[in-house]
Structure 1
Amino acid sequence: MTIEKMEGKLLWEPSQQFQDESNLKKFMIWLEETRGLHFDTYEQLWKWSVTSIEGFWSAVWHYFDIQAKTPYEEVLKVRKMPGAQWFPGATLNYAEHVFRNEIPEKEAIIYESENRTQGKITWAELKKNTAAIAEYLKSLGVQPGDRVVAYASNIHETITAFLACASIGAVWSSCAPEFGIMSVIDRFKQIEPKVLFAVDGYRYGGKDFDRLELVKKIQSELPTLKQTIIIPNINEEPNIGQLTNAVLWNHPVETSTGAELSFEAVPFDHPLWILYSSGTTGKPKAIVQSQGGILLEHFKMMALQSNISKDDRFFWYTTTGWMMWNVVVSGLLVGSTILLYDGNPSYPNYDTLWKFAESSKMTMFGTSAGFITACMKAGLKPKEQFDLSHLKSIGSTGSPLPASGFEWVYEQVKEDLWLVSTSGGTDICTSIVSGAPTLPVHTGELQCRALGTAVKAFNELGEELTDEIGELVITEPTPSMPIYFWNDESGERYRDSYFDMYPGIWRHGDFIKITSRGSAIIYGRSDATINRGGVRMGTSEIYSALEKVPEVLDSLVVDLPLSSEQSYMPLFVVLKQGTELSDDVRSRVNQAIRKDCSPRHVPNEIFVVEELPKTLNGKKLEVPIKKILMGTPVEKAVNTGSLANPDTLRYFIEFQKNLNGLQK
């Protein structure tokens, strides 16, 4: 199947100077000078990186001068999935590698939020505060391997708390304060934390949300907690009298002033943090990643794929409940200044983040495909409205960026700009298909497969495909793959999650096409893919087609089997305020899908909804909605606590009741 609009025109090529000055080019020169390895192209380098994985990851180790208290015995002791054993014998510390970049008066963090004016934290301040928090945690008896959790916003205190935790070898885990109470408890209760950091509340869309009552409930469900540290966020002096064993943030900072920051050397595969699956279909999986694995992967991702260095100001809009927060923290590994924004990115309008980009002199603006398309539909022209002279690149992830989004960036943001569209996952906390500063950008395409990540497209028989859509698989282990799931002693849940279809090969759960030139196109989740009359299509292709219909703000499509030969495909759309689903709009929706996708994928019917159900990370609930419409009870189809807007499910519950009539 060929979708011509997804394989668009050449939009940008890096200048020779841009390529020569890139971290990637410097790495390639280093490989030639120190190891006698010469590569003319990125594709050649990638092929070496996934066929000589020990050689590649050894090169990453030495190029980035990983400091180990004890050396590694070998690069990869066990080369299998799951169960790979990386760099046995080595002991190190993630936080130590962050603070070796310390330039005392340089900004480590620039922050802004709806209720905090723009401010900065220097490296000296960050080190002092991290040392104080680490000392306080140790005074509470926190030891390597103990869990420390945060119900906190994307603010500088949360970064400090994480670095303190990592410095002593404790295990970090965080949830955003907009998470519902059961979502937090379902996550944190699994891992039995010893200390909780929490904000007193947060501001979003101009409204304050107090969280102290919820913190009290969280405390009651976590019997292992010894201490709660409240970070004032919406009140200067929050009333914490209702809480048990709680202190304000200033208490440990002030009582431990003058503490020396030290670093506990832990084994390479010692847990660094615990991330979680979305939890839309049951209790979230607690995904454990290692200090060493994340250290190596994020050096590679930040420096080589994203071209971030000490001169950059690196931003990605995120909350603490999304893996991109963890990626932002790792901007400190390469010495960059990291930028934090907390609040609604579209409040009071879509200018907000662009203003932040201008005032902070941002060099990389990371965001979501949804934000880019929203700015496009809102008619923004950032290049005319803001000084973006410092901006070198824009990153997009979270969902496939439609072709129109690519073109808008170059037409309305900046002509000479590197657009880095990436796709990855919480599961390995990095990009799988990524960017490279030596490659061109084509409409609708992700530039390349990430170094050291053996990405392929497979058909149902496990045969590799080129220029055809297949399952995204990874055929060789990488260091940041989970070392295990928490409370999954047998490893059964881990194996079932990734290795059920192709034994020994990681199946990621997305549909992908690898082009003959090595670029990639993501077509959405493979379990939400629509197969109509033998023509398979990712839902992202349908959503992309609808970008041509300005009245449609958002959409969700599902295909419901009626029999072995027939299915019913409703399309749910959110329309611009004041717009109706007229015959003209309906016709243009159908025509866009017919032309850009296929006649077989024109929906049976179109329905207008006020809002689509989404996870707290902003992802559409395609599979759970499909299950609900097929008759699965809501409580089995979706964990409502993981949703940003659970009330939106009511429409689909009622829809299912009337579905038999609609299908006739």
Structure 2
Amino acid sequence: MATPEPKVLWSPGEDRKEAAAITRYARWIAETRGVELGGADPFDYTALWRWSVDDLEGFWASIWEYFDVQAATPYERVLGSRDMPGAEWFTGATLNYAEHVFRGKKDADLAIQAASELRELDHMTWGELRELTARIATGLRLWGVGPGDRVVAYMPNIPEAVAAFLACSSLGATWSSCSPDFGARSVVDRFAQIEPKVLLAVDGYRYGGKDFDRRDVVAALRAEMPSLEHVVLLDYLGTGELEGARPWRDLVGQQEPLTFAPLDFDHPLWVLYSSGTTGLPKPIVHGQGGVLVEQLKGMHLHIDAQAGDRLFWFTTTGWMMWNFLVGVLLSPASIVLYDGNPGTPTLDRLWDLAADTGTTIFGTSASFIATCMKEGVEPAGEGRDLSALGAIGSTGSPLAPEGFQWVYDHVGADTWLFSTSGGTDVVTSFVGGVPTLPVHLGELQARMLGVDVQAWDPDGRPLVGEVGELVVTQPMPTMPIFFWGDPDGARLRESYFEHYPGVWRHGDWIEITDRGSAIIYGRSDSTINRGGIRMGTSEIYRAVLAEDDVVDALVVDLPKAGTEGFMPLFVVLRDGAELTDELVRRIKTRIRTDCSPRHVPNEVRQVKAVPRTLSGKVLEVPVKRILMGQDPTTAASRDSLANPEALDAFTALADEL
């Protein structure tokens, strides 16, 4: 089915296409592999993508060769087994992720710029980063940390966290991190599963102008994780030391040369976690080599991070985008870190940071763009110099078409906007940016190279121009090598491969257009299905949030025997606004007009806040389960929420219902 072509917001000029790293790679592929990539442009991306999934082994072998992956032991086969789960990549190879981060970097060159609510903007050269990494690696090694040991970090997005991760990678230790806004129970639920040997933590942090002493949380973590042999406290907030914890200076007091242990391709690099909204979070393990080849591909070919680029992405250490941001260091670009509230003192804070750091690629969330749009923020206004800024990245949730338009109206008409969608599960994107393709209103540009993404109907038939389940029909190097504590792989199979045996089902609704672009409609397990018409919640939110008095919303569809179901809409209103009959009428009219008459809610209720995870995701499914009678303590982990008190209104409503 042909998909009507929406408005083209941006097209790369010929100079930009020529300068893109993916253009050089495509020409190399055509010359060395004989792949036909013709067309009026320097190359045809659709043809390149098609080759990358039709010859999966040839594609990933080309990434290895093109980016000159250094292996202490060469690989025997690119893909020893294609089974999902259980694919075996680059069998026999040994390498080190951190070695590739540091290779070729000159000591005097810029590696990191960083600022926070506690620290003024500063920078770190490659020489300084190498030295700090070596010192941390030395300290860990002297404490007996080696390959396979787990080191966990309760740290904010600061340079010390980046260096500590690289030190762990150099040794072969496995890294895992949570941001210090996580509560003790939430952190224990994650870290205790992997039995860490060392905990690196901060004494506290500042957010929104308020100081939060976390020494009591660190003490609780130490008490509940008997595997810990060392707890290290970084004096970040300035609250003082903690009894039983070693000061940071003990860790970094000695320096031996930075060396890199040769590790199996699938040696655990880090453990990430599912959102933890139900049950214990899934400890998702990714391998050294899988992350390396995926990030070499992604940072160079899709993000187009080149020499002189300065890439910022607003994130915490508890979100996969931090792991993504660190991966930019595999490219010639430098990175920009920020720790704090993006709205303190105003929503101009991150745009000021972009100007002060000369950021060229600015990454954020769809919700931040929507908030800036709603609050009338002018990124390029008031004398702020964003002349270096050439690209905006968005992820976390679907970016509404109005958000696309706002970027071009208020950031710059010659801005490459790339919206991406992926997951913690694969620590990368399925669909996202391509610097040589145009940007269409409301669409993600393309499927990523080497990622065989399709939209499937319930019977496993591929769809084009229609909404279906997002599936990946061939293995990816960053699919989890295993879940920690899941020895027979049962939990892994249940999470991704049960619905379509042998095929990855991600749990999102996606539409693949006939032009190869994509539209994400939100989570498939929270999609509203009324009278057989399915609609992503993002479409309903887009309609509701168009009302000036509405600042946030949550909608669920509760099944009822013998009826269509009960669909309440919960709204958070602007200060001073009231949920009058007139406002309810306007909301319902807008949904009827913009979505469909079948998706008009049965009722609209006002709440003080919408419950969200610490990474900003709306708790649609847990709220639905609570309203259907599930015990709230099992439906959602309050410690994993940014605003746990927001659940109280739904618990009270469940009793009423």
- What TM-score bracket applies, with the shorter chain setting the length? over 0.9
Equivalence for 2:370: 373
Q: Which of 432, 435, 438 in structure 1 is aligned with 2:433? A: 435
The answer to whether the 8 A contact 2:183-2:640 is kept is yes
- Residue matched to 2:287: 290
Deviation digits for residues 114-168 of structure 1 (CA, Å, limit 9, x no counterpart): 1100001110010011011101111011110110000000000000100000000
Q: How does 1:473-488 map to 2 (within 5 A)?
A: 473-488=471-486
Residue 224 of structure 1 pairs with residue 222 of structure 2: no
The letter for the 2-side match of 1:490 is: D
Of 634-643 and 115-124, the range deviating more from structure 2: 634-643
SS in 2 for 1:562: coil
1:157–1:231: 8 Å Cα contact kept in structure 2?
no
Q: CA deviation at 1:341?
A: 0.3
Specify the code of the residue in structure 1 equivalent to 2:67: F
Where do 1:47-446 residues align within 5 Å?
47-235=50-238, 238-240=240-242, 242=243, 244=244, 246-253=245-252, 255-257=253-255, 259-385=256-382, 386-446=384-444
Cα separation, 1, equivalents of 2:477 and 2:249: 37
Aligned pair partner of 2:530 in 529, 532, 552: 532
Asked whether the equivalents of residues 3 and 597 of structure 1 are also in contact (C-alpha less than 8 Å), the reply is: no
What's the CA shift for 1:523? 0.5
| Structure 1 residue 111, shift from structure 2 partner | 0.1
1:591 deviation in Å?
A: 1.8
2:27 to 14, 26, 29: 29
Which of these residues, 574, 577, 601, is aligned with residue 576 of structure 1? Answer: 574
- Asked if 2 retains the 8 angstrom alpha-carbon contact of 1:404 and 1:547, the reply is no
| Displacement of 1:301 | 1.0
Q: Is the 8 A contact 1:129 1:160 kept in 2?
A: yes
The alpha carbon displacement at 1:3 in A equals 10
Partner of 2:506: 508
- Contact 1:28/1:38 (8 A) holds in 2: no
| Greater CA drift, 168-177 or 222-231 | 222-231
Distance 2:419 2:588 in 1: 28
Structure-2 separation of matches of 1:299 and 1:2: 34
Cα separation, 2, equivalents of 1:614 and 1:3 = 33
Contact 2:3–2:514 (CA under 8 A) maintained in structure 1: no
Using the size of structure 1 for normalisation, the TM-score is 0.97
* 1:558-593 per-position Cα deviation (integer Å, ceiling 9, x unaligned): 011112432111100111111112233222211221
Contact 1:153 1:320 in 2 (8 A): yes
- Per the alignment, residue 499 of structure 1 pairs with 497
The size of the alignment, in residue pairs, is: 651
2:637 to 630, 636, 639: 639
Is 1:464 paired with 2:462? Answer: yes
Counterpart CA distance in 2 for 1:632 and 1:8 is 42
> Which amino acid in the other structure matches residue 122 of structure 1?
T
- Alignment check: 8 A CA contact 1:625 1:652 kept: yes
Query: How many Å separate the matches in 2 of 1:207 and 1:189?
Result: 29
Partner of 2:508: helix, strand, or coil?
A: strand
Q: Secondary structure at the match of 2:145?
A: coil
Kept in 2: contact 1:147–1:172 (CA 8 A): yes
Per-residue deviation, 1:610: 1.1
Q: Secondary structure at the match of 1:287?
A: strand
Q: Distance in 1 between matches of 2:592 and 2:343?
A: 32
* Partner Cα separation in structure 2 for residue 551 and residue 9 of structure 1: 28
Pairwise CA RMSD of aligned residues? 1.3
8 Å CA contact retained: 2:568, 2:603: yes
Q: Structure 1 unaligned runs (5+)? A: 660-664
Is the 2:36–2:47 contact (alpha carbons within 8 Å) kept by the matching residues of 1?
no
Contact 1:312 1:364 in 2 (8 A): yes
Identity of aligned residues (%): 55
| Corresponding letter in the other structure for 1:250 | R
Q: Distance in 2 between matches of 1:161 and 1:515?
A: 43
Q: Is the 8 A contact 2:139 2:250 kept in 1?
A: no
Cα distance in structure 1, aligned partners of 2:441 and 2:545: 14
The CA distance in 2 between the partners of 1:37 and 1:47, in whole Å, is 11
Deviation per residue, 1:380-438 (Å, 9 max, x gap): 12122321100010000000001110000000111100001000000000011111011
- Which one of 580, 587, 596 corresponds to residue 589 of structure 1? 587
3-state SS of 2:545 partner: helix
| Alpha-carbon distance in 1 for matches of 2:440, 2:548 | 23
CA contact (8 A) 1:13 1:439 kept: yes
In 1: Cα distance, 2:319 partner to 2:128 partner = 26
CA distance in 1, matches of 2:562, 2:283: 37
Kindly indicate whether the alpha-carbon contact (under 8 Å) linking 1:176 and 1:320 is maintained by their aligned counterparts in 2. Answer: yes
Partner of residue 662, structure 1:
none
| 3-state SS, counterpart of residue 172 of structure 1 | strand
Which stretch of the first structure deviates more once superposed, 149-158 or 589-598?
A: 589-598
The secondary structure found in structure 2 opposite 1:559 is coil
Q: Distance in 2 between matches of 1:3 and 1:448?
A: 14
Match of 1:520, as an amino acid? A
Partner SS state of residue 521, structure 1: strand
Aligned twin of 1:561: 559
Runs ≥4 in structure 1, deviation > 4 angstroms? 1-4
Separation of aligned partners in 2, 1:2 and 1:215: 56
After superposition, the Cα gap between the structure-2 partners of 1:554 and 1:2, relative to the gap in structure 1 and judged at 3 Å, is farther
Where 1:567 maps in the other structure, the secondary structure is coil
Q: Name the aligned partner's letter for residue 63 of structure 2.
A: V
The gaps in structure 2 that reach 5 residues or longer are: 39-43
Please give the alpha-carbon distance, in whole angstroms, between the structure 2 residues aligned to 1:102 and 1:197: 27
For 1:281 and 1:658, the matched residues in 2 are separated by 23
SS in 1 for 2:510: strand
Matched, 1:546 2:553: no
| Equivalent position SS for 1:110 | strand
Work out the CA distance in 1 between the residues paired with 2:263 and 2:210: 43
Q: Answer yes or no: is the 8 Å Cα contact 2:433–2:446 preserved in 1.
A: yes
Q: Name the stretch that deviates more: 97-106 or 139-148.
A: 97-106
Per-residue deviation, residues 256-302 of structure 1 (Å, max 9, x unmatched): 13x21000010101000000001101100000000000000011111
Contact 1:559 1:568 in 2 (8 A): yes
Write the distance in 1 (CA, Å) between the matches of 2:21 and 2:647.
47
Displacement of 1:2 in angstroms is 11
By how many angstroms is 1:537 displaced? 0.4
**AA at the equivalent of 2:167:** A
